[in-house]
Amino acid sequence: MRLAAIAFVLACGLAGCAAPPRRPAPPTAINDAVPPGFPASVRLVTTDLAGFTRRAPLFFTGIRDAAVGGHVDILSLSGGGSEGAFGAGVLVGLTRAHARPRFDLVTGVSAGALIAPFAFLGSRWDGALQNAFTTDHSALLGRSPLWRFLRRLVVPLGREHDDPLFDMVNHYVTPELVAAVARASEKGRRLVIATTDLDSEETVLWDMGVIAEHGGEAARALFRDVLVASASVPGAFPPVMIRVQQGRRVYDEMHVDGSVTTSLFAFPLVAGLGRVDLPPLHGGELYLIVNSPLARLPKTTPVSTVAVLARSFSAGMTYKTRESIIDTINLTSRLGMGFRMTAIPADFPTTSVVDFSAGFMRSLFDYGERCAVGGRIWLKPDQTLRRGIGPDASRSALDTPCPGAPRIAAR
């Protein structure tokens, strides 16, 4: 604590303990404000029922028309920090097994947002996806908590170019990637990413194809900033300021990790209302990759404030994810869609969502890839929570049963 206090005093002297100036946020949560030069269709607040009802027919009809044979395949990618290596491995494994659909709609949150563009573009981008989640470039995100704490004191909020997460995403969001997303979007396929607008405390869904179709450096910069924002865990990485305009008024919005408000999504929150129907999706299939366990093996919690807060946060995120899964299962059933899901088994020897060491991420990537290649990755609705909540005894990464494999009794 003494070291932290000294660091705080020194940092205040260096940085003035003052955040950079920003414009006010828009005065209402649901509004017509958009980044300058972009159309209104670039984003949707997930609670905007009127906006969703107005846009949904064209949006989902376009997806159906782009789908092979009219059969819509949707992929939803959850958050999970470093555990996103699991989802990356699953996708590469599905490619190797010749069992990977061409997804017509891909959605992503947090770590899932970083996977989503590669998942959307298909197997040609597997090399970049694997590099992003298994090399030392990703390990840059794993600097010590003390370093991150000191850095937040010294580096003013909004200085994204000083952030290793920004640097990593900026490296992979190339003009070629953005152009490829634009071409897919022009055919009706959709890539949607969630961020949390801290000013309104709402989930914002961004149509990355609409951003990409805008073209030029403005499109690449906004595409990158949305991905960075979606994965910017508060306190570990700085928030992303996104400038928006409504009429002649210009505002600044503060966006952070999408999983602050939603751990996963396939549709806007209001799509769960009983009166909303989406006929173009009938007969389609929804694939859900959960980049985290749905339960943790019990362990004794130390009597300390930090430990209690950490375990409480973990428990809250786990239950929020379970609730989102059940809501998604219910909605897909009502829409006449099939549902398949996978998640990291509770007995896989994970460490933490902030373990970005190349060794841990590679082991999780290899596990997801191995299970997908073996055809043992997907669970049906009635298997999802049963497989995840009843963990077997602790195992190594090599002998942990795949999510879709029969459970082996604890030894």
Place of tokens 């998942």: 119
Amino acid symbol at 36:
P
The pLDDT value given to residue 153? 52
Distance set, CA 160 to CA 35, 163, 221, 242, 258 (Å): 18, 5, 12, 12, 17
Dihedrals phi, psi of 292, to nearest 5 degrees? -170, 160
Return the beta strands (E) in 226-309 as ranges: 240-246, 249-256, 285-293
The pLDDT value given to residue 352? 67
The pLDDT value given to residue 297? 75
C-beta of residue 207 within 8 angstroms of C-beta of residue 40: no
The pLDDT value given to residue 351? 61
Residue 332: closest CA among 264, 281, 270? 281
What one-character DSSP code corresponds to residue 234? Answer: B
Paired tokens of 153 = 């004191």
pTM over 0.75: yes
The span from the CA of 401 to the CA of 87, in Å, is 16
Paired tokens of 349 = 């020897």
The pLDDT value given to residue 10? 40
- For the chain, residues with pLDDT lower than 50 are 1-17, 138, 142, 144-147, 150, 159-160, 394, 407-411
Beta-bridge partners for 227? none
The pLDDT value given to residue 145? 46
